Amino acid sequence: MTEMEERKKEFRTTVDGIAVNRAYTPDDISENEIDASLPGEYPFTRNIMSTGYRTRLWTMRQYAGFATVEETNRRYKYLYQQGQTGFSVAFHLPTQMGYDSDHPLALPEVGRVGVAIDSLPDMEDLWAGIPLGEVSTSMTINATAPIILAMYIAAAEKQGAAQSQLMGTVQNDLLKEYVARNTYIFAPEPSMRLTTDICCYCAQNMPKWNSISISGYHMREAGATAIQEAAFTLANGIAYVQAMIDRGMEVDSFAPRFSFFFAAFNNLFEEVAKFRALRRVWAKIMKERFGAKNERSMMLKFHVQTGGCTLAEQQPLNNVVRVAIQALAAVLGSCQSLHTNSYDEALALPSEEAVQLALRTQQILAYESGVADTVDPMGGSYYLERLTNQIEAGIEKYIATIDKIGGALEAIKRGYIQREIRRSAYNHQRAVDAGEQVVVGVNKYTSDEPLDLELLEIDGSVTRKQIARLSKLKSGRDNERVHQILDKVRQVARSKENTMPVLIEAVKAYATVGEISDALRDVFGEYKEPSVL
Amino acid sequence: MVSKKIRVLIAKPGLDGHDRGVITVAQGLRDAGMEVIYLGLRLTPEQIAEAAIQEDVDVIGLSCLSGGHLALFSKTIDSFRKKSHKKVIFIGGGIIPKKDIPALKASGIAETFGPGTPINKIASFIKAELEKGSDDNED
């Protein structure tokens, strides 16, 4: 009987991914030291907790925000009614970039990719009817994170919630902005100062708040491979831990509240292996490199978002299937928190129907599939354990290279990270264009009939409304006080003092996001990235 | 017939920072034999128009994933046309709802290329449009 030819000359997990054998056996995991740690046991490969989802499911946390605070507040309440268990705020680009809605650069962007927040009253109204002292909120904000966190603290205080009660996260990760997400304002050094200002402030005042969400998601979306996503994120993590230590902070005083954020792409086994390898490598870094004594400093906690760029504009219902597989990977990988994309991802912000189905995907996984009922159910699979070891090796190789360059910050300044990501992105495009990497409905099994979907639309009235709100705010506040406080912001920024207290004062005086950002620009200047193309 | 290298300027107007698409397209068009200037992100329509004039390009590619494409693309085209009579091809990409395409085309965008577009489709379109244009110029 003749041997049948295999479907491909070479099988890899993804383009530029790991080579995949025809079959795996116990021999594939005997060459490396077998990691026999239990869930909840260092190095936490299987799970940071021994109980996993048996005690508490992952947080179902859908990234949302658009147009005005009223409309976003309505969507948040809808999501909560539909069963999500944590909030996740998407801010529009002007807020992320330190511009008010009436700035010339802001005008075409108001309310389009997130909620418009210009001032403390906006933040207060965003949470109308939602008790900040009782919920968990993740805010995707980076360059202006200190200002937005100050607003959240002030809004909570007005509701009667002390900052020590507050639960949630600010993304606050500028290093990945320079290489992937591109919403930085200032240069790397002042950005590190502001990031660590937040981390120090939270370590001292907000024990339930995650001061940073060190992110790989965006680098993956920019084209990085799974190993690159993991390695570059941990390299950034090393830089942040070191920066905190350089500020005189004991590692165990802040590391338990460092959190992470990764993507879940389509290759199920590679993704699960990636999450397990990440936990193992980070635990070792924290113990061996930084001498952490508290086990909680060694535990990698992370949020996952299913991969946005894997979703297609063509045949959008296929995306429901992709998201289900990706969410399964996240859950099998024992994530703490999960956002599932909506099937209209490539077309618009999620419609109500689409986001409901995204949430249902998580709920079906949680309650019907059984995968949440035992910890690390795929542990022991020859393929999975081998992949976990291979990804661990890949991560360590990159970290060694980055160490040699002088650390993540230096690697970014030299363009090393950017070039690696862009090369992977280009190889992926070439593979898809050549048909070597199939994308169902896009380069294979295509169809002509377009699906008519009801898409979410943002109209120009949002801009007018925000401009009116700003006008009202500025005429109603004590402008002399605002002027004084902005001077104080500049003074503190120039010093080595933590900026958080003065920023909380400033937002309470109703200084706007744009005004405070401009004060910081006066001190730090704006960063123009040198072209790496 | 177009004999010299096709010159393309690619840029992102507005605040949107998603640059994987533009960078991939820029590299792909270079591989297809074109001279590509990638201007970068966070540019105003005026800055893009000015650079396009200075670089004397044949094609201007604009990208926006934040939903501001109607205002930003048309402003770029208007800004260019205010200062230059050169017949250039404007193309657009990003997240552009189908219902906005007629308005974009009316404002001067020759074609939009959304998610899933193979690079050679863009390259072929540019070459074909420039051939058409140079045919028009031959009397």
A245: confidence class by pLDDT, cuts 50, 70, 90 = very high
Please state the rounded mean pLDDT for residues A438-455.
91
Closest chain A residue by Cα to residue B114: A313
DSSP state of A28: G
Residue range B14-25: mean pLDDT, rounded: 96
Asked if A113's CB is within 8 angstroms of B67's CB, the reply is yes
Q: Is the pLDDT of residue A529 over 90?
A: no
Residues contacting residue A112 through CB under 8 Å, at least 6 positions apart:
A66, A92, A93, A458, B66, B67, B68
pLDDT number for residue A532: 60
Per-residue pLDDT, A384: 97
Contact in structure between A26 and A384 (CB atoms under 8 Å): no
- Predicted local confidence at residue A341, as pLDDT: 98
Q: What is the pLDDT of residues B63-121, one digit of tens each?
A: 999 999 999 999 999 999 999 999 999 999 999 999 999 999 999 999 999 999 999 99
Q: Give A270-307 pLDDT, tens digit per residue.
A: 999 999 999 999 999 999 999 999 999 999 999 999 99
Average pLDDT for residues A184-192, to the nearest whole number? 97
pLDDT over 70 (residue A515): yes
Q: B16 contacts in A (CB within 8 Å)?
A: 93, 109, 113
Q: Is A309 on the interface with B (CB under 8 A)?
A: yes
Q: Which residue of A has its CA nearest to B120?
A: A433
Q: What is the pLDDT of residues A131-184, one digit of tens each?
A: 999 999 999 999 999 999 999 999 999 999 999 999 999 999 999 999 999 999
Whether B136 shows a pLDDT value over 80: the answer reads no
Find residues 455-484 of chain A whose CB sits inside 8 Å of chain B: 455, 457-458
By DSSP bridging, strand B109-113 and strand B89-94 are parallel
Report percent pLDDT > 70 for chain A.
98
Sorted by where each starts, the structural domains of chain A and their CATH numbers stand as 26-433 (3.20.20.240)
Write the DSSP symbol of residue A37.
P
List of chain A residues whose C-beta atoms are within 8 Å of the C-beta of residue B71: 107-108
Which chain B residue has the Cα nearest residue A308?
B115
Using alpha carbons, select from A179, A180, A168 the residue that is nearest to residue A221.
Answer: A180
- Least confident range from A30-34, A47-51, A199-203: namely A30-34
Interacting residues of A448 by C-beta distance below 8 A, sequence separation 6+: none
**CB count in 10 Å sphere of residue A289:** 14
Note whether A151 and A488 are within 8 A (CB). Answer: no
Helices (H), A113-215: 120-126, 145-159, 175-176, 188-205
Q: Is the pLDDT of residue A6 over 70?
A: yes
Question: Does the pLDDT value for residue B2 go beyond 60?
Answer: no
Give residue ranges of B with CB < 8 Å to any A CB.
Answer: 14-20, 23-24, 26-28, 38, 40-42, 44, 66-68, 71-72, 95, 97-98, 114-116, 118-120
- Whole-angstrom Cα distance, residue B112 to residue B93? 5
To the nearest whole Å, the CA of A302 is away from the closest chain B CA by 23
Residue to mutate among A93, A215, A342, with most B CBs inside 10 A, is: A93
Reported as a single tens digit per residue, the pLDDT across A356-397 is 999 999 999 999 999 999 999 999 999 999 999 999 999 999
Beta-carbon neighbour count of residue A331 at 10 Å?
23
Q: Residue B130 is which amino acid?
A: L
Mean pLDDT of A473-482: 98
Mean pLDDT for chain A overall: 96
Residues of A in contact with B42 (CB under 8 A): 105, 182
pLDDT at B135: 73
Rounded to the nearest angstrom, the minimum Cα separation between A113 and chain B is 6
Q: Give the chain B residue whose CA is nearest to the CA of A218.
A: B18
Q: Using DSSP, state whether B42 is helix, strand or coil.
A: strand
B-interface mutation test, from A113, A464, A526, most B Cβ less than 10 A away: A113
pLDDT tens digits, residue range A198-229? 999 999 999 999 999 999 999 999 999 999 99
Chain B contacts of A422, Cβ < 8 Å? 23, 27
Kindly give the pairing relationship between strand A86-90 and strand A59-64. parallel
- pLDDT classification of B3: cutoffs 50, 70, 90: low
Domain range annotation of chain B: 7-129
**Record: contact A182-B97, CB cut-off 8 A:** no
In terms of CATH architecture, what is B7-129? Answer: 3-Layer(aba) Sandwich (3.40)
Secondary structure (3-state) at A337: strand
A113 touches chain B (CB under 8 A): yes
What b-and-e string marks burial along A108-124, b requiring 16 or more CB atoms within 10 Å of the CB? bbbbbbbbbbbbbbbbb
- The answer, yes or no, to whether residue A31 has pLDDT greater than 70, is no
Q: Stretch A327-340: mean pLDDT, rounded?
A: 98
User: Mean pLDDT throughout A2-30?
Assistant: 93
Best CA proximity match to A457, nearest among A354, A327, A349, A382: A349
Residue A222 has its nearest CB partner, among B20, B27, B67, at B20
Q: Which residues contact A89 (CB under 8 A, 6 or more apart)?
A: A63, A64, A65, A114, A115, A126, A137, A138, A139, A140, A141
CB proximity under 8 Å: A 56-85 to B: none
Q: Which of A158-162, A186-190, A290-294, B132-136 shows the lowest mean pLDDT across its residues?
A: B132-136
For residue B37, the SS3 value is strand
Nearest to residue B65, comparing CAs of A387, A182, A30?
Answer: A182
pLDDT band per the 50, 70, 90 thresholds, residue A449: confident
Contact A88, A140 (CB under 8 A): yes
Indicate whether A17 pLDDT > 50: yes
Which among B8, B9, B10, B18 is the top mutation candidate for probing chain A, defined by the most A β-carbons within 10 Å of its own β-carbon?
B18
User: CB contacts < 8 Å between A and B, how many?
Assistant: 88
A90 CB-side CA count, 13 A? 21
Dihedrals φ, ψ of A213, to 5°? -125, 90
**Confidence (pLDDT) at A301:** 98
| Torsions phi, psi for B39 (to 5 deg) | -80, -25
ω into residue A207 within 30 of 0, thus cis? no
**Rounded distance between C-alpha atoms, residue A100 and residue A425, angstroms:** 34
Q: At what angle do helices A69-81 and A352-368 cross, to 10 degrees?
A: 30
A34: left (phi over 0), alpha (psi -120 to 50) or beta: beta
pLDDT at B139: 47
State the nearest Cα–Cα gap between B29 and chain A, in angstroms: 12
Residues in chain B: 139
List, for residues A495-511, the tens digit of each pLDDT value: 999 999 999 999 999 99
